[in-house]
């Protein structure tokens, strides 16, 4: 019995030490990739250019321009840029290690111009590099898109699965972006909370969010991002819409509606074709000259169809009450309607 008591006392003395032992903390997840505004995205891209050089800058810009994953951008070939097709497009072929979303991405005219500038002139940047503990030196780097092959060539190597990797590694891009994100937050402490989640997918999230904010339909944005129909929740998760996006879209829609009304007011009334009137008159004058003349005059004086013919003054007053018309636009439409009475 005493031995049992001694063993119990010994275990009780060890228990507090076990309780106080450091526990392995759960790794904090970064969460959803943050989507930046157009202005913040330009600031981030410029920061990458100044801190890491033009090669990484071009890769990050491609992810934001075409909603690419970083791995897809790192594996791009020069032949994938179909700038002279109609319409121009970026080809994301099906390739081992590239991903599961092969397809074609349309390239807009301003993007074609930017890519052609990169191809003809390259991208240049100057930055300070620490040589050793004693000092730093300003260096100038220039990245030129190759005429063929990988845009971001890496050291030729084989991984554990015997797959040849002659392009920049995704893990290298991810590590560089995370380091740059911390520096970026340090340089902008006031906005560090919204930029601390910056990572390689932020360009893709930014592009999808911009498309949603501009009112692009869900089907179109999913096709652009090469998301499957079953990935609708994933696609909506990329879009980080804010009240500013909603307000901007509503203002654009309001401007569009007012522009349509203004066009309706300013459009000159249509008139029947001169050839048609002459043809009618010639045929009728040959049969009944006196009656044909009266009918031709009536055709010429006929009131043409107006774009506001189906609108009433009550409708226009309601539009003004809803704030869809300015006082000047209301006056023009009111005068046009009164003339038709």
Per-residue model confidence as pLDDT tens digits over 137-190: 888 889 999 988 888 887 665 555 555 667 788 888 888 888 888 888 888 776
Number of domains in the chain: 2
Pseudo-torsion of CA 329, 332, 333, 336, nearest 10°?
Answer: -170
- Which of 178, 200, 222 lies at the terminal end of a domain, its last residue? 200
- Which of 172, 200, 228 lies at the terminal end of a domain, its last residue? 200
In a domain, 121, yes or no: yes
My answer on whether 42 and 188 are in the same domain is yes
Distances 134 to 130, 172, 189 between C-alpha atoms, Å: 9, 28, 28
In a domain, 277, yes or no: yes
In sequence order, what are the residues at sequence separation of 6 or more whose Cβ sits closer than 8 angstroms to the Cβ of residue 307? Answer: 264, 267
Which residues does the chain have with pLDDT short of 50? 17-18, 21, 272-293, 296, 299-307
In a domain, 7, yes or no: no
In a domain, 302, yes or no: yes
In a domain, 82, yes or no: yes
Distance CA 337, CA 311 (A): 8
My answer on whether 280 and 185 are in the same domain is no
Take residue 101 and report the two structure tokens written for it.
């979303």
Q: What is the pTM of this model?
A: 0.66
Distance CA 262, CA 259 (A): 5
In a domain, 259, yes or no: no
Structural domain boundaries enclosing 296: 267-340
My answer on whether 62 and 139 are in the same domain is yes
Distance CA 129, CA 3 (A): 69
In a domain, 221, yes or no: no
My answer on whether 165 and 308 are in the same domain is no
In a domain, 248, yes or no: no
H or E segment and range at residue 220:
helix 218-225
Distance CA 106, CA 277 (A): 48
My answer on whether 48 and 176 are in the same domain is yes
């Amino acid at each position: 019995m005493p031995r049992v008591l001694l063993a119990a006392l010994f275990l009780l003395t060890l228990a507090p030490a076990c309780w106080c032992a450091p526990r392995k903390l759960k790794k904090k997840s970064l969460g959803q990739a943050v989507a930046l505004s157009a202005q913040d995205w330009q600031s981030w891209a410029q920061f990458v250019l100044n801190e890491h050089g033009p090669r990484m800058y071009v890769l990050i810009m491609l992810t934001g321009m075409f909603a690419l994953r970083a791995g897809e951008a790192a594996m791009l070939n020069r032949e994938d840029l179909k700038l002279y097709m109609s319409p121009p497009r970026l080809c994301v072929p099906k390739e081992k290690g590239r991903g599961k979303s092969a397809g074609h991405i349309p390239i807009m005219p301003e993007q074609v111009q930017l890519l052609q500038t990169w191809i003809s002139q390259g991208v240049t940047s100057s930055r300070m590099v620490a040589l050793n503990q004693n000092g730093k030196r300003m260096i100038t780097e220039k990245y030129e898109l190759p005429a063929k092959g990988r845009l971001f060539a890496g050291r030729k190597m084989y991984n554990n699965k015997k797959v040849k990797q002659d392009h920049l590694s995704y893990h290298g891009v991810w590590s560089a972006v995370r380091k740059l994100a911390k520096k970026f937050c340090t340089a902008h402490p006031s906005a560090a909370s919204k930029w601390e989640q910056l990572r390689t997918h932020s360009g893709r999230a930014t592009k999808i969010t911009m498309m949603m904010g501009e009112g692009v339909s869900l089907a179109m944005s999913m096709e652009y991002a090469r998301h499957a129909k079953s990935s609708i929740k994933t696609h909506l998760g990329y879009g980080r819409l804010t009240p500013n996006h909603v307000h901007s879209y509503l203002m654009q829609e309001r401007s569009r509606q007012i522009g349509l009304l203004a066009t309706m007011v300013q459009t000159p009334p249509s008139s029947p074709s001169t050839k048609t009137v002459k043809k009618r008159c010639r045929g009728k004058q040959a049969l009944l000259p006196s009656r044909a003349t009266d009918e031709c005059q009536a055709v010429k004086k006929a009131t043409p169809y107006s774009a506001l013919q189906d609108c009433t003054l009550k409708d226009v007053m309601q539009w003004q009450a809803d704030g869809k018309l300015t006082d000047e636009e209301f006056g023009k439409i009111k005068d046009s309607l009164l003339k038709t009475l």
